[in-house]
Amino acid sequence: MVAIRASLATLFLAACASAQQLSSTLTQIKDFGPNPRNVTMYIYVPKNITTNAPIMVVPHWCHGTAKDAFNGRPYASLGDQYGFISIYPDSPNKADQCWDVSSNASLTHNGGGDALSIVNMVRWTIEKYGADKDRVFVTGTSSGAMMTNVLLGSYPDVFAAGSAWAGVAFGCFAGNGYDVWSDACATGKIIKNGTEWAAMVKNAFPGYTGFRPKMQVLHGTADTVLYPQNLMEEIKEWTSVFGYSETPEETTKDTPLKGWTRYSYGPKFEAYEAAGVTHDIPNQADLVMDWFDLKCKATMSRMCYSRASG
């Protein structure tokens, strides 16, 4: 397994060589508040940021780093253009750089784990920059997508939306420890019905009945690292959380690329199935930006998507 995950890192790095023209630099923040797991925080704040800027959290993949995610995704330069801050956490699991998506701590609201450390980075940024607490977003690939599922499940009170690329459902890696690799989940053998998955999400924050962030999930049908069954499990989980039918309301073929199919289940959940695509799924920043409504300029007649409007 380690060998497979190492070769993946190479793939991602090869795809991540694009240079960004940036107004500012990536900065490490040492004291951002309670950090039970010693997760390292990096932040990118555009030079001409105004108050109420949205925040985008970009957790890296296994064997990747905060800097790899910063260099390999265009969100810093898009932040310059559209006025949002991006946060790049770095995993404390130095053996494999995977996120803690297994511990009960991470799978519990304010329970600790890597998830709480990341949320405390968000809380610090809102305070420090007067950022918009109603427009906090998270997107990641692979382990970063697993963390996206975990953050939306454990912190529905913090995030406005998530976009998970080639990940697994919230709770699928649940295990005893902070860095458990679940072969059973990875190979698509952890199968539950929507009610069971949704119960895991709801148990993460018992009694919470407030706003739930919307979710976008994407997966390749030729993924041999996190088998495509995991897309089905994410679909069952989130449709059940939102009370949607598991039958899509709308199916759109060949979007955004040939062979990719978009299934929309309702305003808060959509899934993309990418035919023939492996675990090295090519990230499409436009899809993420549109889902998060981050190109929006508010006008009298149009509010941008946020926890308050959505």
Ligand X SMILES: *[C@@H]1O[C@H](CO)[C@@H](O)[C@H](O)[C@H]1NC(C)=O
**Which chain residues interact with ligand X by CB under 6 A?**
37-38, 48, 80-81, 83, 104, 108, 111, 193, 195-196
Choice between 156 and 220, CB closer to ligand X:
156
Choice between 203 and 255, CB closer to ligand X:
203
* Cα radius of gyration (the chain): 18
Smallest gap, in angstroms, from Cβ of residue 108 to ligand X? 4
Choice between 80 and 132, CB closer to ligand X:
80
Choice between 74 and 83, CB closer to ligand X:
83
Report the alpha-carbon distance of residue 38 to residue 103 in Å, rounded: 15
Smallest gap, in angstroms, from Cβ of residue 174 to ligand X? 9
Smallest gap, in angstroms, from Cβ of residue 5 to ligand X? 22
Active site residues: 142
Helix (H) or strand (E) holding 230: helix 229-242
**CB distance 139 to 164 below 8 Å:** yes
- Tell me which residue of 99, 212, 86 sits closest to 158, measured CA to CA: 212
**CB distance 286 to 280 below 8 Å:** no
DSSP class of 260? E
User: Tokens standing for 149?
Assistant: 């599922």
Q: Which of helix, strand or coil describes residue 165?
A: strand
Residue with tokens 């902070």: 178
Helix (H) or strand (E) holding 120: helix 113-129
Smallest gap, in angstroms, from Cβ of residue 227 to ligand X? 21
